[in-house]
Structure 1
Amino acid sequence: MIWICLFIQGTAASAPIDVPIITYYDYPPFILENASKSLTQELAQYLSQASNGRFHFSVKVIPKGRLDVMMEKPDWKGIIAWINPKFVYDEAKTRYLWTAAIMNEIDLVASNKEAPHHYKGPESLHGLKLGAVLNQRYADVENMIAKRALVRTDGRSQENVLKMLMHRRVDVAFVSKSTLSWFRIHLKGLEQKVVFSPVPRNTFTRHVMLSRSLSPEVAEYVIKTINGLGSQAQWRDIMDRFHIKDQIP
């Protein structure tokens, strides 16, 4: 009986710590609607396996608005994947902990080939109809949208917005290079109907952000492991499967 109790206690003590990874990017390659494993799931699995049983990482999708409210609480604890310090007003990296860049990213401006738009900054969008993902904010054009200088038409997903553009229901749409790499293969007719301006809307790096209230054990492990991802063949193969190996820093 004593041996059994000790065994149970030892097993419980060695159980991995569950650590959720949050993302508000609910579209490819970060989250996939079908049974395929998304990039965020691949990241969680990689972190779990590399911990040798210390941690179990799982994926949690939370809408941006709800996440903003959660983060306002002083005792909030969490890890958010794929964001940049400027997205949370932490360019100095003093409010949160940050990994090194995990991905180089480019935001592109797409238009229909029958009416191509040559992007030259937000002002060049004046008078156009923008296809936008429902509930997603675009800081650089919010003032134009408020003044009706740029008309916003929402689609329920990034795929839906691209389809609107393909059928000329909108004039332009914004899409990240990593997402475009997925839809170039999985959205039929995209290459034949859509063109991308050579001038990007934005360039930035994606990171993993950690609240300072996390346990040092978890924070140190995540930062150290992610900072070494670029040199790991397994991770490079994962990125290659999503056709974004060229975006590894």
Structure 2
Amino acid sequence: MHRLVLLLTLILLPSVCGAQQRVEVWTYHFSPPFVLDDAQGLSQAFVELLNNNAANDYRFRFELVKLPRKRVDIRLARERPGVLLWATPNFFTAEQAANGKWSGPLLIDQQDFVSLPDAPFEYENPESLHNLVLGGVLGHRYEGLEADIASGAIKRQNAQGDLQNLEKLLSGRIGTLLIPRSTWLYYRKEKKLQDLYVSNTPLYQFTRHLWVADALGQAATQYLARFVENLPENPKWQILLFHYGLQPIATAQ
């Protein structure tokens, strides 16, 4: 009898596994807390929440795929099925997003100016940066400042990443830096940088969402919509927010 049960299990297992839909979750955000050096981080943890949620019931296998922004754009243009994680609607054209739907916001983020406490910088407008050296991240564009940077009115020094910029600030090589609040909150907690000053006025605010391709099909899109809707009450999500220091920018829907 036991051998018969085992035989039936082995026969049925491939068909059960084959019925599971693989779903790519794309991200082009490689900075902490989204991606960490140990290949973990908030993005991988979020994908695990999607996989382990009871409502999934083993129907979908979500897999994190880290891509440069240009390769994300190619997938959108080719109408590939997938989910885009931590994306901001304003950073995509209507044509790029036409074949999918945006979720409600997951995080309310912003580009913050951070400076030393003995030389606090308060942002008012681009002219308020004219006498400072601004730390930026290589390859990033900062909306509202690009004209003054191009003309040389704002002196910008680039670093490979946000942590290098923070180190330059602490050593006095730059006057202020721009950093997403999500990244700043993580480093403030991990590196104990609570004494640094954050301008009351950010450069701009933006929200982070899921974008879900219509090509995934109704079952997957409905699952994702309900998952995001219930996220504020999800205790595992709340634990992640606490772990990465992100409670101040979490949304309550």
TM-score class, shorter = 0.7 to 0.9
Corresponding residue of 1:149: 153
Find the partner of 2:46 among 43, 47, 72: 43
Corresponding residue of 1:56: 61
Preserved CA contact (<8 Å) 1:101 1:205: yes
Distance 1:41 1:5, change over 3 A: closer
Amino acid at match of 2:227: T
Preserved CA contact (<8 Å) 1:119 1:197: yes
Superposition map of 1:94-133 within 5 A: 96-133=100-137
Preserved CA contact (<8 Å) 2:34 2:41: yes
Q: Give the 3-state SS of the residue equivalent to 1:169 in structure 2.
A: coil
Structure 2: gaps (5+ residues): 1-6
Q: Give the 3-state SS of the residue equivalent to 1:140 in structure 2.
A: coil
After TM superposition, give the deviation of residue 127 of structure 1 in Å. Answer: 4.3
Preserved CA contact (<8 Å) 1:102 1:227: no
Amino acid at match of 2:47: A
Find the partner of 2:15 among 6, 10, 26: 10
Tell me the distance in 2 between the aligned counterparts of 1:240 and 1:8: 38
Show CA shifts across 1:149-208 (max 9, x none): 2222221111111111111222221122221221112225x334x311112222232211
Amino acid at match of 1:100: G
Corresponding residue of 2:87: 83
Corresponding residue of 2:4: none
Find the partner of 1:220 among 219, 222, 233: 222
Q: Give the 3-state SS of the residue equivalent to 1:153 in structure 2.
A: strand
Corresponding residue of 2:26: 22
Q: Does 1:237 align with 2:202?
A: no
After TM superposition, give the deviation of residue 76 of structure 1 in Å. Answer: 3.4
Amino acid at match of 1:43: F
Corresponding residue of 2:211: 209
Amino acid at match of 1:79: V
Preserved CA contact (<8 Å) 1:111 1:172: yes
Show CA shifts across 1:84-114 (max 9, x none): 21111349x7563111111122321112234
Tell me the distance in 1 between the aligned counterparts of 2:98 and 2:230: 22
Q: TM-score, normalised by structure 1?
A: 0.85
Tell me the distance in 1 between the aligned counterparts of 2:60 and 2:158: 39
Preserved CA contact (<8 Å) 1:98 1:223: no
After TM superposition, give the deviation of residue 80 of structure 1 in Å. Answer: 1.3
Q: TM-score, normalised by structure 2?
A: 0.84
Tell me the distance in 1 between the aligned counterparts of 2:29 and 2:9: 46
Distance 1:168 1:100, change over 3 A: same
Distance 1:8 1:108, change over 3 A: closer
Identity %: 26
Q: Give the 3-state SS of the residue equivalent to 2:215 in structure 1.
A: coil
Preserved CA contact (<8 Å) 2:51 2:62: yes
After TM superposition, give the deviation of residue 67 of structure 1 in Å. Answer: 2.6
Corresponding residue of 2:3: none
Q: Give the 3-state SS of the residue equivalent to 1:206 in structure 2.
A: strand
Distance 1:8 1:199, change over 3 A: closer
Greater shift, 161-170 or 112-121, is seen at: 112-121
Corresponding residue of 2:249: 247
Give RMSD over aligned pairs: 2.6
